[in-house]
């Protein structure tokens, strides 16, 4: 064994030993520096890391896995320039603006409830809602609450105080608004609004009593330091749920030519975010198929994830809901057989 290898192994042991005592035993999430140490772990420590992340998830979140459906009320034609997003109207992307009607929305909520999902999230590709969208959402939420036994969440971009209060009064249970990436990397990803504007919406959502759902996308050219910074940003926000996406480079977007995040890096990041956010619902969102393939469903979930989106995502095809349902039995099992795959 070379000196360099010995050093790597020793420091890896240190990070995971500290994490076991601090996060698993005491429930205190990793700091930014500690998270960076985890993100720098060598591939031969990945199995040990995923195992610890899974133990942390089970201890602090329990064995349940939350399932959520997602529907696009207004698709495409967004005036913002988030460089990863095929719904921006500023890029040569294939997604054209379209609206869904209320009966279709209710039907989608019914189908989602049948899968066993407990959350149904209404999404619109907008900077923030205008009156037309607020009226559509109000009608949709009321119709769903009357006909379907499911919690309704919304993701409608940046909100004013008045809009936050109105959504809360409608009975919206959770609001999703992603910070997307570390504060220091955000200007490289979005130029039409700021990270701080997003933060302000999240603060108001919390103050209005709705659950906060906030995550982002990994693999957008951020450094490991910025990935750790993002985990620390989220830990400071303490959201109820963190959806983790991996960049699925969409043709025609400014990030269309970026490389897909290697599977080992994605898994390491999932586990690191779990160790930074021991009590949060950590959800696999878009991009997992392209990054992780079949690995993602099993190792990623066993490595700290405790929620999934069922069925299709907003603009790309996800896995059929049945495949996720098949996984639920496995999700309660302790990690095993990772060596067979790595
Ligand atoms: S605000 Fe949302 S829908 Fe609009 S470009 Fe950004 S990520 Fe896409």
pLDDT along the chain (342 residues), means of 10: 43 81 96 97 92 93 84 87 90 71 88 85 92 94 94 96 97 96 97 96 97 96 98 96 91 92 90 96 70 55 73 46 52 35 32
Q: Indicate which atom in ligand 1 lies nearest the CA of residue 79.
A: 4
**How would you class 292 by CB atoms within 10 Å of its CB: exposed for 0-12, middle for 13-18, buried for 19 or more?**
buried
CA of 106 to the centre of ligand 1 (A): 24
332 annotated ligand binder: no
- SS3 assignment for 228-266: HHHHHHHHHHCCCEEEEEECCCCCCCCCCCCCCCCHHHH
Domain ranges of the chain: 57-330
Element holding 309 (H helix, E strand): strand 307-309
- pLDDT at position 317 is 39
Q: Is the CB of 125 under 6 A from ligand 1?
A: yes
CB burial string 135-145: b at 16+ within 10 A, e below:
ebbeebbeebb
Closest CA to 244 of 265, 273, 206: 273
Cβ 238 vs Cβ 192: under 8 Å: no
What SS3 state is found at 233?
A: helix
Distance CA 269, CA 266 (A): 5
CA of 305 to the centre of ligand 1 (A): 25
CA of 178 to the centre of ligand 1 (A): 10
User: Would you give the DSSP letter of residue 303?
Assistant: T
Distance CA 103, CA 217 (A): 32
78 annotated ligand binder: yes
Q: Indicate which atom in ligand 1 lies nearest the CA of residue 124.
A: 3
Cβ 228 vs Cβ 29: under 8 Å: no
Cβ 70 vs Cβ 313: under 8 Å: yes
CA of 85 to the centre of ligand 1 (A): 6
Our mutation pick for probing the ligand 1 site, out of 72, 74, 87, 245, counting the most ligand atoms within 8 A of Cβ, is 87
Give the number of other CB atoms < 10 A from CB of residue 27. 12
Q: Indicate which atom in ligand 1 lies nearest the CA of residue 190.
A: 6
Closest CA to 298 of 328, 318, 320, 255: 328
Distance CA 272, CA 243 (A): 14
Dihedral angle computed from the Cα positions of residues 337, 338, 341 and 342, in that order, rounded to the nearest 10 degrees: -150
Instruction: Report the nearest-CA residue for atom 3 of ligand 1.
Output: 125
User: Would you give the DSSP letter of residue 188?
Assistant: G
Looking only at the bridges linking them, the beta strands covering 98-99 and 66-75 are antiparallel
CATH of region 57-330: 3.20.20.70
CA of 237 to the centre of ligand 1 (A): 21
Closest CA to 151 of 176, 126, 179, 180: 176
- pLDDT at position 314 is 44
Cβ 176 vs Cβ 155: under 8 Å: yes
Our mutation pick for probing the ligand 1 site, out of 80, 93, 248, counting the most ligand atoms within 8 A of Cβ, is 80
Cβ 181 vs Cβ 230: under 8 Å: yes
- pLDDT at position 92 is 78
> Residue 70 — φ and ψ, nearest 5°?
-140, 135
Our mutation pick for probing the ligand 1 site, out of 72, 77, 88, counting the most ligand atoms within 8 A of Cβ, is 88
CA of 10 to the centre of ligand 1 (A): 43
Q: Indicate which atom in ligand 1 lies nearest the CA of residue 80.
A: 5
Our CA angle for 312, 306, 265, nearest 5°, is 80
Q: Is the CB of 80 under 6 A from ligand 1?
A: yes
Closest CA to 55 of 29, 95, 24, 85: 24
- SS3 assignment for 20-41: HHHHHHCCCCCCHHHHHHHHCC
154 annotated ligand binder: no
């Amino acid at each position: 064994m070379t000196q360099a290898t010995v050093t790597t192994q020793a420091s890896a042991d240190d990070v995971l030993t500290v994490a076991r005592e601090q996060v698993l035993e005491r429930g205190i999430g990793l700091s930014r520096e500690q998270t960076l140490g985890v993100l720098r772990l060598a591939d031969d420590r990945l199995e040990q890391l995923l195992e610890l992340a899974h133990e942390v998830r089970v201890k602090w979140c329990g064995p349940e896995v939350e399932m959520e459906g997602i529907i696009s009320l207004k698709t495409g034609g967004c005036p913002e320039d988030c460089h990863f997003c095929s719904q921006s109207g500023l890029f040569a992307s294939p997604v054209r603006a379209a609206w869904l009607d209320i009966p279709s929305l209710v039907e989608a909520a019914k189908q989602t409830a049948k899968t066993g999902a407990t959350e149904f999230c209404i999404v619109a590709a907008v900077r923030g809602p205008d009156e037309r969208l607020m009226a559509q959402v109000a009608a949709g939420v009321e119709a769903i609450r009357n006909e379907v036994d499911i919690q309704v969440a919304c993701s409608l971009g940046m909100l004013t105080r008045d809009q936050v209060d109105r959504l809360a009064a409608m009975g919206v249970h959770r609001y999703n608004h992603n910070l997307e990436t570390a504060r220091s990397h955000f200007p490289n990803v979005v130029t039409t609004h700021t990270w701080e504007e997003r933060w302000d919406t999240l603060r108001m959502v919390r103050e209005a009593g709705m659950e906060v759902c906030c995550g982002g996308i990994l693999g957008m050219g951020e450094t490991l330091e910025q990935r750790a910074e993002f985990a620390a940003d989220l830990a400071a926000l303490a959201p109820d749920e963190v959806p983790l996406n991996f960049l699925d480079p969409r043709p025609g977007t400014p990030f269309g030519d970026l490389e897909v995040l290697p599977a080992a890096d994605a898994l390491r990041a999932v586990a690191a975010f779990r160790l930074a956010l021991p009590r949060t619902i950590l959800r696999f969102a878009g991009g997992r198929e392209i990054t992780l393939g079949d690995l993602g469903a099993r190792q990623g979930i066993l490595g700290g994830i405790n929620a999934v989106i069922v069925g299709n995502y907003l603009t790309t095809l996800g896995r059929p809901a049945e495949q996720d349902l098949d996984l639920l039995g496995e999700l309660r099992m302790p990690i095993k057989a990772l060596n067979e795959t790595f």
